[in-house]
Chain A
């Protein structure tokens, strides 16, 4: 079964760091584009960033709200990828999803994980 599973969420103080993981089963993660999307409690969806597939050297894109603070990386040997979040702010509190996309502009966010909750609070 094709599946994405996020982990690593939790409570962190403002200014702190957290690393989220997105693990894949049933497919090879390195061959796919993966996006991160977040949803603050009671709010809408916000695209956070993307990592492209191995053919595109896993290059990345980010939303302005997280650029310079968040970094997406991969460990192809573990079939996983990571969202390193630094200098966290209270407004980063959200449920974070990873989602699979295809390597073209047409086919994005077709499969989602269940999400992991990040709470930034003192």
Chain B
């Protein structure tokens, strides 16, 4: 199975900060990597698919990049509604596997 790691596991940031979250795969997954945002008590929401494609309706301050084994999610200017947990998901091969999550909270 492909193992996914994320760094950092948690971070504190301020409104307006640029935030970067890294996701690494234990083997190459091409660009079959998606990012999800989950707020407490809410359903996960897809932000990015195939590494860098922005989901319709998601603000352009979110962007994704990477290929192979290393990927990043960037929030260019953190907004109050962005405080949440972010998960990456590899969908290159079965079983699909999520990263452990990165919690972004308010500094």
Contact = CB atoms under 8 A, between A and B. Distances in A.
Instruction: Tell me, yes or no, whether A binds B.
Output: yes
B98 A63 contact: no
Given A44-B87, A106-B49, A64 B43 contact: no
A70 to B, nearest CB: 12
Interface string A94-122: 00010000000111111011110000000
A106 B32 contact: yes
B36 A109 contact: yes
B49 A47 contact: no
B34 A108 contact: yes
A11 interface: no
A105 B43 contact: no
Contact of B46 (A63, A97, A109, A113): A109
Nearest to B99: A44
Given A64-B1, A114-B43, A105 B91 contact: yes
27 contacts: A37-B44, A44-B87, A44-B98, A44-B101, A45-B36, A45-B38, A45-B89, A45-B98, A45-B101, A47-B89, A47-B95, A50-B94, A50-B96, A63-B95, A64-B1, A64-B95, A97-B44, A105-B32, A106-B50, A107-B50, A108-B89, A108-B91, A109-B34, A109-B44, A110-B55, A112-B45, A113-B43
Given A35-B96, A47-B98, A109-B34, 11 more contacts: A44-B98, A44-B99, A44-B100, A45-B36, A45-B98, A46-B98, A64-B95, A107-B50, A108-B34, A108-B89, A110-B49
Interface of B: 1, 32, 34, 36, 38, 43-46, 49-50, 53, 55, 87, 89, 91-92, 94-101
